Amino acid sequence: MDEQPIAEARANLSEITAQVRLLRKSVMLTRRGHAQAAIVTAELAEAVEAVGGPDVATDLLARTVKDRP
């Protein structure tokens, strides 16, 4: 996942949005080197909401990864 400081992302939001949409890459927004938020495809955001939001999606993914051999 690419990283981008929030201050730089503000200035490049159109380019970041195009990268996420066209290349289907997520971009982690950072402040002082620490992850704060992410820009993801609309489809991923909709899928997260469809399963009940970020907390439920995180729990489902954690269980899925844990159950893999």
pLDDT of residue 69: 66
Per-residue DSSP letters for 26-67?
-EEEEETTEEEEEE--HHHHHHHHHTTSHHHHHHHHHHHHHH
What is the pLDDT confidence band of residue 57, given thresholds at 50, 70 and 90?
very high
Range of the domain at 55: 2-67
User: Residue 28's pLDDT is what?
Assistant: 97
Here the CATH number for the domain that contains residue 28 is: 3.40.1620.10
Number of domains in the chain: 1
Model confidence at 65: pLDDT above 90: no
pLDDT tens-place string over residues 2-36: 999 999 999 999 999 999 999 999 999 999 999 99
pLDDT at 48: 96
Q: Mean pLDDT across the stretch 33-55? A: 96
